[in-house]
């Protein structure tokens, strides 16, 4: 008997895009906070590694649509219900972060822009933030009026040690498709709330486990060595002179002071390089700002609302 699905805001539309055997999933919700009027605008949501659309349908989708925005959310390639990259669907793998960027470009140009009202806001978390930064640096502000980054993955703690390990593993054939050391398939016993590094809120932390149990297709284990290698190549791409400086639209970067998943020092650097970017820190917050306690989430939404007010 199938497990009961957790309570989440049903999407108004769920569909796929892509070609050549690739199926990338997205969902759409209509704005609910505008009465009979037009939507205030559109938000495009790009989530983090090992995440999936349903996790954001639990609360975030309703919070955005209640603000008057139409919402589009996309499952990154290799996770959620989008096509997986390897025969073992639990391995989080990518050939190149440029593939994520190309997927986002196709999604925006073929699905979002033809139907979504302006102003449009690009909203991303963690790995999605890395992808969104590279997309904006390459494509400019043609499709979007503003961007919000929640804990963007612009660097990782212990980068020097990881780079050395990647260099050593580079001489071992086939290692790029193996799990990164210390990781493996998803097992809830290995993810107790007491030792988690993403949130102080136990109810929200449990969203992932609930959905992985209700729909095993959503499950994702650790990253592969290749995924980590490509992440560092993407950091280098963003660090190149003149890349982040190309982003010319209102930008908000939000960091948690207790984030140990990504290197938050790189957030301040990115904010200095993006013209006019605002950098907000939330005291005591861990990596998943939108899965944090109510008080910390309130601070995030206050910063979001200030930016949204600037674009209409």
2, part of any domain: no
What average pLDDT score do residues 261-285 get? 98
154, part of any domain: yes
Whether the pTM exceeds 0.85: the reply is yes
Residue 171: predicted pLDDT = 81
pLDDT, one tens digit per residue, over 122-142 is 999 999 999 999 999 999 999
- Go through 99-122 and write b for each residue having 16 or more CB atoms within 10 A of its CB, e for each that does not: bbbebbeebbeebbbeebeebbbb
149, part of any domain: yes
Count of structural domains within the chain: 1
Q: Cβ atoms within 10 A of the Cβ of 178, count?
A: 15
Q: Pick from 94, 121, 92: which is nearest to 108 by CA?
A: 121
1, part of any domain: no
Residue 299: predicted pLDDT = 98
Structure tokens at 298: 């309130």
Mean pLDDT of the chain: 95
Residue 99: predicted pLDDT = 96
Structure tokens at 90: 């639990």
pLDDT band at 312 (very low <50, low <70, confident <90, very high): confident
Give the helix/strand (H/E) hosting 51: none
pLDDT higher than threshold 80 for residue 19: no
Q: How far, in Å, CA of 270 to CA of 277, rounded? A: 9
7, part of any domain: no
pLDDT band at 33 (very low <50, low <70, confident <90, very high): confident
What average pLDDT score do residues 253-270 get? 98
271, part of any domain: yes
What average pLDDT score do residues 225-230 get? 97
6, part of any domain: no
pLDDT higher than threshold 80 for residue 158: yes
pLDDT higher than threshold 50 for residue 1: no
Q: How far, in Å, CA of 105 to CA of 111, rounded? A: 10
What is the domain-level CATH number for residue 27?
3.40.50.1820
Residue 6: predicted pLDDT = 87
- Find residue 223's DSSP bridge partners: 92
Q: Cβ atoms within 10 A of the Cβ of 28, count?
A: 18
Mean pLDDT is lowest, of 13-22, 88-97, 155-164, 221-230, for 13-22
124, part of any domain: yes
Residue 35: predicted pLDDT = 60
What is the percentage of the chain residues whose pLDDT exceeds 90? 91
Structure tokens at 9: 């805001």
DSSP letter (8 states) at residue 29: E
pLDDT band at 173 (very low <50, low <70, confident <90, very high): confident
- Find residue 149's DSSP bridge partners: 124, 253
Q: Pick from 192, 151, 97: which is nearest to 303 by CA?
A: 151
What domain range includes position 76?
13-310
Residue 90: predicted pLDDT = 98
């Amino acid at each position: 008997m199938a497990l009961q699905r957790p309570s989440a805001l049903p999407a108004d539309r769920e569909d796929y895009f892509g070609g050549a055997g690739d199926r990338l999933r997205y969902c759409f919700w209509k704005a609910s906070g505008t009465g009979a009027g037009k939507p205030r605008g559109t938000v495009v949501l790009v989530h983090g590694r090992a995440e999936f659309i349903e996790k954001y349908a639990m609360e975030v989708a309703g919070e955005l649509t209640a603000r008057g925005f139409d919402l589009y959310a996309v499952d990154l390639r290799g996770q959620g219900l989008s096509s997986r990259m390897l025969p073992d669907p639990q391995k989080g793998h990518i050939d190149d972060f440029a593939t994520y960027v190309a997927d986002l470009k196709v999604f925006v140009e073929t699905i979002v822009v033809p139907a979504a009202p302006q102003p449009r806001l690009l909203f991303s978390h963690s790995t999605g933030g890395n992808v969104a930064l590279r997309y904006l640096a390459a494509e400019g502000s043609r499709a979007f009026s503003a961007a919000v980054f929640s804990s963007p993955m612009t660097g990782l703690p212990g980068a020097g040690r990881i780079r050395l390990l990647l260099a050593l593993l580079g001489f071992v054939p086939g290692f790029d498709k193996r799990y990164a050391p210390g990781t493996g398939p998803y097992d809830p016993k290995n993810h107790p709330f007491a030792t988690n590094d993403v949130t102080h809120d136990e109810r929200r932390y449990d969203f992932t486990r609930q959905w992985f149990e209700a729909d095993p297709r959503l499950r994702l284990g650790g990253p592969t060595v290749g995924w980590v290698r490509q992440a560092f190549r993407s950091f280098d791409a963003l660090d190149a002179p003149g890349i982040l400086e190309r982003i010319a639209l209102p930008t908000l970067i939000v960091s948690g002071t207790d984030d140990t998943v990504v290197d938050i020092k790189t957030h301040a650097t990115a904010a200095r390089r993006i013209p006019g970017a605002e950098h907000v820190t939330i005291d005591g917050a861990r990596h998943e700002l939108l899965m944090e306690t109510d008080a910390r989430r309130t601070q995030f939404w206050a910063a979001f609302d200030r930016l949204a007010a600037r674009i209409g």
